[in-house]
């Protein structure tokens, strides 16, 4: 397995000056854009063409190009793009409005060369001290979130890959995983309700799920965050929920995870069962991760057939959305 093969497991950010030199060197499987990279539709389209050229110049396949274009306070592209209300607000207009907005957002993204949207939010906001999800969630009850998240997928995924987040649910904790590791004390029985929206989107055919950095000690007593937990990623998402699409980590730069051990974190995320590892802000961590993954394969710390299965899933998604 070559370094270029391993790079397919990585999704990386672009700095605010849109310097793409690291993409030429790394040839990652995916690239994620932020507001720092935004511009008019014409400028974004020019940037995505340049990204494709940079990633493929050494013979690598076209990348997945992703963004968080949820709406409300999480809308990366605004100049010349539809203003998307928060999902809680849009939900008041009903399922048809959600599906239509999802289709419109997907069409705008595809037109500028973006083929993955990190949406819909499947979290059910139930914690009174929650500050990170809030009105990003469709509702405060799992049934409504399930119905509307599924409608979102039906509207958007004919055009771009949708990614449900943040598995197994970030709405029942009061800590932001950008700054610390939240802990959810749910038991397996109690986890059933937060999982309903993810079940619904899987039933609607969603192609991607993002794993959150949330510890669930009553599910995995090791204390590992969901993103590094084989029990949560493989046993629950893959086996219990029968999800066969792409599994993305949330950003591995977030402070919920150890900040000094990019290689170790990357290997553990793959052992847990993820397919694509996000390094959104520090590109050097992606290079460290690639080297650590190569070493782990050589030392048989990582299972080669499992990595080959991840690469096959990535290739399948690219054949549909990155062509």
Distant-in-sequence, close-in-space partners of 22: CB < 8 Å, separation ≥ 6 = 12, 283, 286
d(CA 275, CA 308): 10
Please report where in the chains the tokens 């093969």 appear, as a residue: 5
**DSSP state letters, 235-303:** IIIIIIS---SEEEEEETTSTTS-SS-HHHHHHHHHHHT-SEEEE-S-HHHHHHHHHHHHHHHHTTSS-
Residue 188 and residue 220 in contact, taking contact as beta carbons nearer than 8 Å? no
Q: In the annotation, is 250 catalytic?
A: yes
Q: Are 107 and 156 in contact (CB under 8 A)?
A: no
Cβ 67 vs Cβ 162: under 8 Å? no
The catalytic position among 53, 178, 244, 303 is 178
Alpha-carbon span 19 to 239, nearest angstrom: 40
As a whole number of angstroms, the distance between CA 219 and CA 229 comes to 10
Q: Is 141 a catalytic residue?
A: no
Q: What DSSP designation does 7 have?
A: H
Closest listed residue to residue 242, CA positions, set 268, 206, 212, 211: 206
Provide φ and ψ at 305, rounded to 5°.
-60, -35
Q: Quickly tell me which residue has 């893959």 as its tokens.
A: 238
Give the count of beta carbons closer than 10 Å to the beta carbon of residue 5: 16
Which residue among the candidates 250, 251, 253, 275 is catalytic per the annotation?
250
Closest by Cα among 112, 107, 1, 104 to 48: 112
How far apart, in whole angstroms, are the C-alpha atoms of residue 251 and residue 35?
Answer: 16
**Catalytic machinery residues:** 178, 250
């Amino acid at each position: 397995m070559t370094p270029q093969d391993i790079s397919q497991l990585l999704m990386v950010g672009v700095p605010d000056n849109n310097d793409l030199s690291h993409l030429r060197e790394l040839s990652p499987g995916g690239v994620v854009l932020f507001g720092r990279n935004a511009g008019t539709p014409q400028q974004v389209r020019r940037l995505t063409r340049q990204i494709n050229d940079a990633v493929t110049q050494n013979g690598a396949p076209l990348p997945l190009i992703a963004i968080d274009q949820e709406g409300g306070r999480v809308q990366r592209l605004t100049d010349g793009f539809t203003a998307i209300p928060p999902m809680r607000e849009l939900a008041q207009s009903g399922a048809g409005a959600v599906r239509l907005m999802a289709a419109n957002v997907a069409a705008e993204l595809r037109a500028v060369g973006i083929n993955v949207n990190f949406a819909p939010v499947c979290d059910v906001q139930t914690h009174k001290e929650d500050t990170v999800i809030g009105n990003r969630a469709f509702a405060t009850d799992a049934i409504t979130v399930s119905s509307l998240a599924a409608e979102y997928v039906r509207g958007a995924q004919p055009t771009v890959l949708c990614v449900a987040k943040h598995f197994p649910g970030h709405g029942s904790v009061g800590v932001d995983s950008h700054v610390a590791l939240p802990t959810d004390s749910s038991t397996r029985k109690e986890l059933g309700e937060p999982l309903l929206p993810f079940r619904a989107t899987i039933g609607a055919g969603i192609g991607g799920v993002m794993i959150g950095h949330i510890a669930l000690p009553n599910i995995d007593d090791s204390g590992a965050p969901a993103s590094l937990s084989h029990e949560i990623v493989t046993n629950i998402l893959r086996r219990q929920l029968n999800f066969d699409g792409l599994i993305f980590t949330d950003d591995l730069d977030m402070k919920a995870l150890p900040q000094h051990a990019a290689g170790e974190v990357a290997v553990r995320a793959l052992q847990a069962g993820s397919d694509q590892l996000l390094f959104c802000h520090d590109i050097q961590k992606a290079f460290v991760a690639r080297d650590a993954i190569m070493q782990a394969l050589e030392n048989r710390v990582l299972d080669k057939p499992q990595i080959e299965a991840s690469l096959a899933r990535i290739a399948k998604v690219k054949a549909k959305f990155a062509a």
